[in-house]
């Protein structure tokens, strides 16, 4: 333990000298790339100390993207092809099929039903609705014009929302900082029908759903607001919001 402590002290003395003469606030993310390559050559105990200390030195500790690359080019398609309509080309809008919380690179999660699942630091959820139906982490909004949004309090270049739908859901419009970025019909006929054409609603006869993550990336590195609004045709169901670049 004493040997490890002494090594940690040595590391904390050496690293500030390496970066002190460089303007960390302006060039921190760039410097971090080169330092990461250098530190990969160091012993593991030195790498661990660097991982904890470098964000403070380089002034990037409040950036929830944590140095992840921002995608460029056309928006990637969801697992079933491009779903809905992308409404802006000011930045990259991606439509990913599946649960973003289970992606290989997930975002920082803010559950829609924040009263039962409190949000982590970094953002605040609010909504406007006459009626809202909670179900575990989900919130469903039956009335057109109802909305729910996440206002980030941390800097980020990527922000998104996980929308869900079944036979009762309808059209949703997603906007970022007041700019509409995506609209789509979230209705998903997930139940069986009897011989007379009546829908059979039960846990045994209904499965699956519309499960897509709508992400805006390539944004200015600052705080942002993402909103999902019920645009008619049924309910709107939101599972969570996400901060930071997500990738399946």
Could you identify the residue written with the tokens 């990527």? 158
User: Does residue 64 fall inside a structural domain?
Assistant: no
Same domain, 40 and 136: no
Question: Does pTM top 0.75 for this prediction?
Answer: no
The verdict on residue 248 lying in a domain is no
- Region 166-193: mean pLDDT is 91
Do 184 and 145 fall into the same domain?
Answer: yes
- The CATH number given to whatever domain includes residue 112 is 2.60.120.260
- Identify whether residues 100 and 162 lie together within a single domain: yes
What is Dmax (Cα atoms) for the chain? Answer: 78
On the question of pLDDT at 39 being above 70, the answer is no
- d(CA 115, CA 56) in angstroms, rounded, equals 32
Cα R_g (the chain), whole angstroms: 22
Instruction: Indicate whether 74 belongs to any domain.
Output: no
| Structural domain contains residue 50 | yes
Mind listing the pLDDT tens digit for each residue in 70-84?
A: 333 333 333 334 588
Residue-level pLDDT at 82: 52
Segment 218-237, tens digit of pLDDT: 999 999 999 999 999 999 99
Q: Are residues 185 and 92 in the same domain?
A: yes
- Indicate whether 128 and 232 sit together in one domain: yes
Do residues 40 and 114 share a domain? no
Q: Which residues pair with 86 in a beta bridge?
A: 182
Query: CA–CA separation, 108 vs 16, rounded Å?
Result: 29
Tokens of 61: 């500790």
Residue 167 shares a structural domain with residue 233:
yes
User: For 41-71, what is each residue's pLDDT tens digit?
Assistant: 444 444 444 444 443 333 333 334 333 333 3
101 and 45 assigned to the same domain: no
Number of domains present in the structure of the chain: 2
- Asked if residue 231 and residue 119 are part of one domain, the reply reads yes
Residue range of the domain that includes 162: 85-243
Give strand pairing partners of 24.
Answer: none
What tokens does 240 get? 């969570």
């Amino acid at each position: 333990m004493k040997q490890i402590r002494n090594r940690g002290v040595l590391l904390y003395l050496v690293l500030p000298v390496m970066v002190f003469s460089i303007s960390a606030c302006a060039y921190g993310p760039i410097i971090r790339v080169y330092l990461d390559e250098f530190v990969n050559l160091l012993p593991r105990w030195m790498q661990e100390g660097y991982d904890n200390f470098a964000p403070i030195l380089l002034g990037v500790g409040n950036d929830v993207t944590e140095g992840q690359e921002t995608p460029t080019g056309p928006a990637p398609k969801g697992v079933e092809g491009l779903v809905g309509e992308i409404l802006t080309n000011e930045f990259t809008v991606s439509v990913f099929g599946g649960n973003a919380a289970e992606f290989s690179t997930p975002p920082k999660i803010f559950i829609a039903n924040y009263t039962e699942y409190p949000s982590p630091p970094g953002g605040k959820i609010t909504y406007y609705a006459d009626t809202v139906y909670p179900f575990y982490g989900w919130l469903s909004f039956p009335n057109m014009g109802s909305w729910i949004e996440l206002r980030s309090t941390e800097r980020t270049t990527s922000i998104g929302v996980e929308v869900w739908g079944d036979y009762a859901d309808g059209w949703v419009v997603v906007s970022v900082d007041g700019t509409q970025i995506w609209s789509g019909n979230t209705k998903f006929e997930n139940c069986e029908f009897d011989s007379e054409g009546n829908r059979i609603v039960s846990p045994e006869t209904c499965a699956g759903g519309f499960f897509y993550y709508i992400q805006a990336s390539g944004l200015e590195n600052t705080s942002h607001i993402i909103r999902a609004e019920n645009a008619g045709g049924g309910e709107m169901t939101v599972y969570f919001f996400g901060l930071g670049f997500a990738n399946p």
